[in-house]
């Protein structure tokens, strides 16, 4: 029997690939973006099981309306993919306060809006899966990624706790932490850069921007493979709580774990 998927940020990038993979698996997909027309243009006449909805995830009321209409039309939301987001890439002091707050408004509070809208339906049915697209940057931060990582670290902390609150009620959670995916995530459609010029950072910022420009379109990981993996895991009764995807992500996460072990041991020695 076809399950009902709700996928945010589905007009392009990983969200688009997840929605397409779910359709290919015979599922029914409610695909959202800020413009429903963008979703329709992205998929064309791919399937009569695709339903495009407009949703700005920063609008909590709109998220509730989409969740309510989905359950009314289709009877349930079996899988929520909280994917919509973007990146502020650059050095912290080069961002205005408004830019930093916007990063959290979309990546954290917008994602919370959608989860808050969908979770009651899943709790009522004692069934469902919430897939949250985080990043390896939610586990590891670096120069040039502090603001984006801060929003993803927050996602990690929130969902790790929320998942434990939902589990006794039959609602499962999967946190997805990809490495660098070959999407348009690093170009101007998704990424934003700091607007304040600070001479002390000028050289480092220039090198970072050159790295981003060079990496854009050449990222090592295939989003189609990740999408297929997510769809496959969603069909399993015992899916993992986390998926660290890509050799780069596993390497960076592993190095962070080793660093933490060392720092924990050093803290004990100094006790």
List active site positions. 134, 148, 152
195: which residues sit within 8 A by CB, 6+ positions away? 94, 95, 96, 99
Written as six digits, the tokens of 200 are 């002390």
Q: Which residue has the tokens 């379109």?
A: 217
d(CA 151, CA 148) in angstroms, rounded, equals 5
Tell me how far CA of residue 222 lies from CA of 24, 81, 113, 150, 246, in angstroms.
17, 18, 29, 25, 9
Burial 229-260 (b: 16+ CB within 10 A, else e): ebbebbeeeebeebbbbbeebeebbeeeeeee
């Amino acid at each position: 029997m076809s399950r009902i998927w709700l996928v945010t940020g589905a007009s392009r990038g990983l969200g688009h690939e997840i929605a397409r993979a779910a359709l290919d698996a015979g599922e029914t997909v409610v695909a959202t973006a800020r413009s429903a027309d963008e979703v329709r243009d992205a998929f064309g006449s791919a399937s009569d099981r695709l339903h495009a909805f407009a949703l700005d995830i920063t609008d909590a009321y709109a998220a509730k309306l989409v969740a309510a209409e989905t359950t009314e039309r289709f009877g349930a939301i079996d899988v929520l993919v909280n994917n919509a987001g973007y990146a502020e890439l650059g050095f912290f002091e080069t961002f205005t306060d408004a830019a930093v707050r916007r990063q959290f408004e979309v990546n954290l509070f917008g994602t919370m809006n959608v989860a808050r809208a969908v979770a009651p339906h899943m709790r009522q049915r004692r069934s469902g899966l919430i897939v949250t697209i985080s990043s390896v940057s939610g586990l590891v931060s670096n120069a040039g990624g502090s603001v984006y990582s801060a929003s993803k670290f927050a996602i990690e902390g929130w969902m790790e706790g929320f998942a434990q609150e939902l589990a006794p009620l039959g609602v499962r959670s999967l946190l997805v932490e990809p490495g660098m995916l070959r999407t348009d995530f690093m170009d101007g459609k998704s990424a934003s850069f700091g607007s304040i010029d600070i001479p002390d950072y000028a050289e480092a910022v220039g090198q970072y921007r050159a790295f981003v420009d060079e990496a854009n379109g050449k990222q090592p990981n295939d989003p189609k493979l990740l999408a297929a993996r997510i769809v496959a895991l969603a069909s399993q009764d015992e899916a993992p709580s986390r998926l660290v995807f890509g050799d780069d992500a596993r390497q960076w996460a592993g190095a962070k774990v080793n660093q933490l072990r060392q720092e924990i041991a050093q803290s004990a020695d100094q006790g």
